[in-house]
Amino acid sequence: MKTIFEKNNSTGGISLTDGEIKTDFIDEVFLRKKSCGLPDISELEVMRHYKELSDRNFCIEKGFYPLGSCTMKYNPKVGEFLASLEGFANLHPLQPDDDAQGALELMYRLTEALKKITGMDAVSLQPAAGAHGELTGMMIIKKYFETKGETRTKVIVPDSAHGTNPASAALCGFEIISVKSNSKGQVDIDDLKKLIAPDVAAIMMTNPNTLGIFEEKVLEISDLMHKNGSLLYYDGANFNAIMGYTNPKLMGFDVVHLNLHKTFATPHGGGGPGAGPVGVVEELKEFLPVPVIDFDGQKYFKKFDLKHSIGQVRDFSGSFGVLVKAYAYILMMGRNLKEASENAVLNANYLKEKLKKDFKLPYDVLCKHEFVLSAEDLKHNTGVSALNIAKALMDENTHPPTVYFPLIVHEAMMIEPTESETKERLDEFVDVMIKICNEAKSDSGNLAGAPHKTPVKRVDETLAARHPDLCFKNN
């Protein structure tokens, strides 16, 4: 028996009757012109279909993921379990403080842990991601100087910086000034001295930088900037390399953001939402976004009365479920957070030493959690580029590393193994990279067409980036 929906003229509603499907109450733009061609199959077959599709997705649980500067570390599944506990998952974000003491306590304790780890004096958990944390930090710096009555319009950014650094500063109205790298891949102090002026508000730095190299002159840079009355912003993208060994406060930084997905094992990218907490020194704590989480000795509460707050940058108190996972990871690791950084650095240096015989290593120095190889010589001799190598890795159950970044290295391949990987897995990666290198020298044509085994073969990435097809097509 068929049923239809008929418009009820008296109520504006729809009533059920027998007969054919009536659609005159639906706008024609939403009606199909022909059958959508869905197969008539069982629920079991549908489940098998979607399971097969999911198996084609690459993920950290399926293979090696050496994506440089993105720190694709394993996310313990216990974090997902804890974040889904009824008291957390079903708590309304507008629940009164008196009825949400457990959640507020967790956020307060996470704040205290992040303060200790970074050395900062106050932390906001609001920002929704690393780049959002950068924007929040730059807004704080801008308002700080406005409050002081100073007109500072420029921000210095290293030429090796993450692209979000100049973008975040520019969104706040700052003019971006690039400082060069020296022969060691670090900030060129002499060039920096030429750029420092009374209108410079801050310098944004990642340490270790995007080459995986620790900035040896960071204290000198801090001294130079502070003598100029400028502030230092710490991009926490590479924080996974230094936990327990040093912190931004010891280096002289005033503002820092952390990527919880890069350092504290919360989901990355499509597995989000994310969180990018921002920490500041004592002088800037009144500028943090509100609310911050506080404790009066009796109960935990959301504090809104910060004298110079930049306002709210995120609904409620941020991505609470992500914060639960990060707090769980910190509790599980404890002092072993230092060991995580230690193993990340060990793994990176192991790969660097194993691969530098077959690939160009622009900066042959002790690296931290990541390092950058170059396919420049290989491309010159064989025509095989960094992109070709990245595509070939996809046929070997390995996610490609970051390529063509940082821009100061031609044909760059930024590799970061993280602390999660075993020596056996690292050795497999070394073997695959050497295999690809040898194939480039003997049969470069095969690599030019890679990948060959993936569900989707080589695509025109330039066309996809410049002319994305996002239109809704009415079938």
Domains in the chain, start-ordered, CATH in brackets?
A: 1-31 (no CATH), 77-335 (3.40.640.10), 339-465 (3.90.1150.10)
**Mean pLDDT value across residues 202-221:** 98
Alpha carbon distance 451, 394 (integer Å):
6
| Listed range (72-76, 284-288, 293-297, 399-403) with the worst mean pLDDT | 72-76
Q: 44 and 50 in contact (C-beta within 8 Å)?
A: no
Cis peptide before 267 (omega within 30 of 0): no
Alpha carbon distance 288, 308 (integer Å):
8
Q: 372 and 363 in contact (C-beta within 8 Å)?
A: yes
Angle at Cα 227 formed by Cα 310 and Cα 225, nearest 5°?
Answer: 60
For 187-199, the pLDDT digits (tens) are 999 999 999 999 9
* Predicted local confidence at residue 473, as pLDDT: 57
Structure tokens at 186: 């670090």
pTM for the predicted model, two decimal places: 0.89
Average pLDDT of the residues of the chain = 92
- For residue 23, pLDDT over 80 is answered with no
Furthest C-alpha separation in the chain: 84
